[in-house]
Amino acid sequence: MRIRATVAAVTGALALTALAVPAAQAGAQDADLNRPTAAERFGTSSAKSAFRATAVDEELPVITKVSVNSGKAVVVGTTNAKTVTVSVTASHPTGIQDAYVDLWHGTDVEDGLDGYLPPNEDAATCTASSATTSTCKLTITAYPGVDLYKNALAGTWKVTVGALAGDGSFYWNDYHTTHKVQRYSKLTVNASPEPVKKGKTITVTGKLSRANWETEKYAGYSGQSVKLQFRKKSSSTYTTLKTIKTNSTGNLSTTVTAGVDGYYRYAFAGTSTTPAVNAAGDFVDVQ
């Protein structure tokens, strides 16, 4: 049994509550979902800590900006770990000496946690812009098949944010914001025949696939709307010709009539679990 302290917001008041919870496990992957308390992370007395529920309590650090991967989704494939930079900008009359960021997945940080992406560093690297304000940076690494051990983890994750002031007081919020963690996507295209006579039929095939974190392979993404686009050889702009859906194995196939020389591609707008992707254009010479 692990004792974990958490700071909770109470209507009209601030309270520090200690709860005893069992260490969370990630099934066969044995992923460590044990998260530090604010006191454990910052090495400060819990008597000086509080959950900063509003922006009017000037005794606690004020968070002015949180950035995870420069605002872009954390996109992870099947084999390579993905490392992203996170940062916290905070201020306090006594300055800022450390910060903390993690990403977690589940219904509740105490009882419903099934995914956890901790920072790699024991302390953040903080750069002061003034005597009261600093921007603190950390990195987070996500390992497919380990941290991301099931496909259901793709989507929206909660972001915990903490900041430690020079006087030992700190902000700590397990629900500060949210961020997307997604399964890497691939999209191919092939237009044939090449070359083709003007007025003849061109068949455009392709496939939309995405990372399967459970099998560590790529699998077709079925039932997704994908745009077939074209740009003339002399142009840099693609125009949408039609929208079709992937079949049960993620494959695409449609036909168009040959007009002028140019490039055909498929374009996928993305979903909450899978990022947008465009296929590289396939050139067709029309004679």
What pLDDT does residue 32 have? 55
274: pLDDT strictly greater than 70: yes
Do 38-49+57-182 and 185-284 agree at the fold level? yes
For the domain made up of 185-284, the CATH class stated in words is mainly beta
**Domain regions of the chain by residue span:** 38-49+57-182, 185-284
24: pLDDT strictly greater than 90: no
Taking only the tens place, the pLDDT of each residue in 75-84 is 999 999 999 9
255: pLDDT strictly greater than 90: yes
What pLDDT does residue 13 have? 29
For residue 27, name the pLDDT band (cuts at 50, 70, 90): very low
| Between 216 and 43, the higher pLDDT residue | 216
Instruction: Kindly report which listed range (29-33, 133-137, 174-178, 216-220) carries the lowest average pLDDT score.
Output: 29-33
CB atoms < 10 A from the CB of 73, how many? 22
What pLDDT does residue 156 have? 98
Report the C-alpha gap between 36 and 54 in whole angstroms.
Answer: 23
Please report where in the chains the tokens 């509740």 appear, as a residue: 108
Strand order in the sheet with 62-68: 62-68, 82-91, 133-142, 125-128
45: pLDDT strictly greater than 60: no
Taking only the tens place, the pLDDT of each residue in 130-153 is 999 999 999 999 999 999 999 999
* CATH topology assigned to domain 38-49+57-182: Immunoglobulin-like (2.60.40)
Burial class of residue 67 (count of CB atoms within 10 Å of its CB; 0-12, 13-18, 19+): middle
State the chain's mean pLDDT as an integer.
87
35 contacts 159 by C-beta, under 8 angstroms: no
- Segment 17-25 shows an average pLDDT of 30
20: pLDDT strictly greater than 70: no
